[in-house]
């Protein structure tokens, strides 16, 4: 029985398994962290979502509101360049956010007395980011087919309930895939980071509250 369990943990974590049996696959991640496949999947999902949304941006209006030089406004080459920069900037931002999240998770584990490595936290961050990326994809699909550009994700309460700041910020923080990501994060802290269940959930709640506060301030 123990041999079978050990063989199961020797396998690499899978993306589908993370949804069906998160505890088991986080334990596998602790043994064999996977990086390249989830990294590629995160980039592809975000790339598709951002591209679909960027195709519906009114770049001429954007140039007017951001005080671009008049000779560039309405110029197809300038609009094409902005489109490409939008895509490249989004990909770079995605990578930096994952790296920053990995560092924050690693610090949370160390502060709470857990044992882990940065590569394991990076792998955990990538798998969790796959879930969060679906919000970007759904937003892109919505914008592309509706023709209505929106700044926030359609999977937040802010998209369902009309509101004004600071309530908008609070509602923006309540997002379907974000909540699922934090649920997985708590399990990951315990299984990959070696934290106690209590410490894992406390760290997760603190991080969620910090995200909610930043959303309120940015609203």
> Is 7 part of any domain?
no
> Is 96 part of any domain?
yes
The reported pLDDT for the residue numbered 67 is 78
> Is 5 part of any domain?
no
Helix axes 197-218, 176-191, angle to 10 degrees: 150
Q: Nearest CA to 118 among 136, 110, 106, 128?
A: 106
* Out of 14-23, 119-128, 155-164, 203-212, least confident range: 155-164
Confidence band for 10, pLDDT divided at 50, 70 and 90: low
Residue with the bigger pLDDT between 35 and 171: it is 35
Residue 135: give the domain boundaries. Answer: 16-218
> Is 126 part of any domain?
yes
**HSE (side-chain half, CA atoms, 13 Å) at 169:** 13
pTM for the model: 0.85
For 190-202, write each residue's pLDDT tens digit: 999 999 999 999 9
> Is 1 part of any domain?
no
Integer Cα distance of 14 and 28 in angstroms = 9
The reported pLDDT for the residue numbered 216 is 72
Contact between 120 and 27 under an 8 Å Cβ cutoff? The reply is no
Domain count, the chain: 1
**HSE (side-chain half, CA atoms, 13 Å) at 46:** 24
> Is 196 part of any domain?
yes
Instruction: Give the bridge partners for 156, in sequence order.
Output: 175
> Is 88 part of any domain?
yes
Integer Cα distance of 184 and 22 in angstroms = 7
Residue with the bigger pLDDT between 61 and 110: it is 110
For 32-42, write each residue's pLDDT tens digit: 899 999 999 99
The reported pLDDT for the residue numbered 57 is 85
């Amino acid at each position: 029985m123990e041999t079978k369990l050990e063989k199961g943990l020797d396998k690499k974590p899978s993306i589908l398994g993370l949804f069906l049996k998160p505890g088991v696959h986080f334990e596998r991640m602790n043994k064999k962290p996977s990086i390249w496949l989830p990294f590629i999947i995160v980039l592809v999902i975000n790339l598709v979502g951002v591209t679909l949304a960027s195709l519906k941006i009114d770049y001429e209006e954007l140039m007017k509101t951001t005080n671009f030089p008049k000779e560039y406004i309405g110029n197809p080459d300038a609009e094409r360049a902005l489109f490409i920069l939008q895509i490249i900037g989004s990909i770079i931002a995605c990578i930096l956010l994952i790296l920053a999240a990995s560092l924050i998770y690693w610090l949370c584990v160390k502060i709470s007395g857990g044992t882990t490595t940065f590569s394991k936290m990076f792998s955990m961050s990538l798998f969790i980011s796959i879930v969060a990326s679906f919000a970007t994809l759904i937003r892109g699909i919505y914008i592309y087919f509706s023709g209505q550009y929106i700044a926030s994700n359609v999977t937040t309460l802010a998209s369902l309930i009309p509101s004004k700041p600071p309530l908008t910020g609070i509602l923006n923080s309540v997002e379907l895939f974000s909540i699922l990501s934090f649920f997985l994060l708590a399990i990951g802290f315990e299984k990959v980071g070696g934290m106690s269940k209590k410490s894992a959930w406390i760290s997760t709640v603190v991080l969620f509250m910090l995200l909610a506060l930043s959303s309120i301030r940015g609203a």
